[in-house]
Amino acid sequence: MAIATVNPATGQTMATFEAHDSAEVARRIAQAFDAARTLRSTTYTQRAQWMHATADILEADVERAAAMITLEMGKPIAQSRTEVLKCAKNIRFYADNAESFLAAEDLADPASVSASAAGTVWQPLGVVLAVMPWNYPLWQVIRFAAPALMAGNTGLLKHASNVPQSALYLDELFEKGGFPAGSFRTLLIGSREVAAVLEDNRVKAVTLTGSEPAGRSVAATAGREIKKAVLELGGSDPFIVMPSADLEAAATVAVKARVSNNGQSCIAGKRFIVHTDIYDAFVEQFVAKMNALTLGDPMDEATDVGPLATESGRADVAELVDDAVAKGAQVLTGGSAPDHPGWYYPPTVLAGLNDDMRIVMEETFGPVASVYKVADREEAVRTANQTTFGLSSSVWSNDAAEQDWFVANLDAGAVFLNGMTVSYPELPFGGVKDSGYGRELAAAGIREFCNLKTVWKA
Would you tell me which residues interact with ligand NAP (CB under 6 A)? 1, 131-135, 140, 158-161, 190-191, 194, 209-211, 214, 217-218, 232-235, 266, 363, 365, 391, 431
Query: From the CB of 239, what's the least distance to ligand NAP, in Å?
Result: 16
Q: Which is nearer to ligand NAP, 209 or 383 (CB)?
A: 209
Yes or no: say if 174 and 54 are a contact pair by the CB < 8 Å rule.
yes
Cα-flanking dihedrals φ and ψ of residue 156, to 5°?
A: -120, 130
Query: From the CB of 44, what's the least distance to ligand NAP, in Å?
Result: 27
Query: From the CB of 134, what's the least distance to ligand NAP, in Å?
Result: 5
Q: Which is nearer to ligand NAP, 232 or 304 (CB)?
A: 232
Distance, CA of 129 to chain centre: 16
Query: From the CB of 457, what's the least distance to ligand NAP, in Å?
Result: 41
Annotated catalytic, 311? no
Return the exposure string of 313-351: e unless at least 16 CB atoms fall within 10 Å of the residue's CB, then b: bbebbbebbeebbebebebbbbbebeeeebbbbbbbbbb
Spatial separation of the C-alpha atoms in residues 227 and 217, rounded to whole Å:
14
Alpha helices per DSSP H over 211-338: 212-225, 247-259, 279-291, 311-326
Annotated catalytic, 232? yes
Yes or no: say if 131 and 208 are a contact pair by the CB < 8 Å rule.
yes
Q: Give me the catalytic one of 83, 232, 362, 448.
A: 232
Query: From the CB of 213, what's the least distance to ligand NAP, in Å?
Result: 6
Nearest to 270 by CA among 281, 283, 254: 254
Q: Give me the catalytic one of 72, 266, 363, 448.
A: 266
Sign of the dihedral defined by the CA atoms of residues 287, 289, 292, 297, in that order: negative
Query: From the CB of 323, what's the least distance to ligand NAP, in Å?
Result: 18
Query: From the CB of 421, what's the least distance to ligand NAP, in Å?
Result: 11
Q: Which is nearer to ligand NAP, 79 or 333 (CB)?
A: 79
Q: Which is nearer to ligand NAP, 157 or 290 (CB)?
A: 157
Q: What does the radius of gyration of the chain's CA atoms come to, in whole angstroms?
A: 23
Q: Which is nearer to ligand NAP, 182 or 445 (CB)?
A: 445
Return the exposure string of 273-287: e unless at least 16 CB atoms fall within 10 Å of the residue's CB, then b: bbbeebbeebbebbb
Nearest to 309 by CA among 143, 160, 171, 157: 160
Q: Which residue is nearest to ligand NAP (CB)?
A: 210
Q: Which is nearer to ligand NAP, 152 or 430 (CB)?
A: 430
Yes or no: say if 242 and 417 are a contact pair by the CB < 8 Å rule.
no
End-to-end CA, the chain: 58
Q: How long is the chain? A: 458
Q: Which is nearer to ligand NAP, 232 or 402 (CB)?
A: 232
What is the set of active-site residues? 232, 266
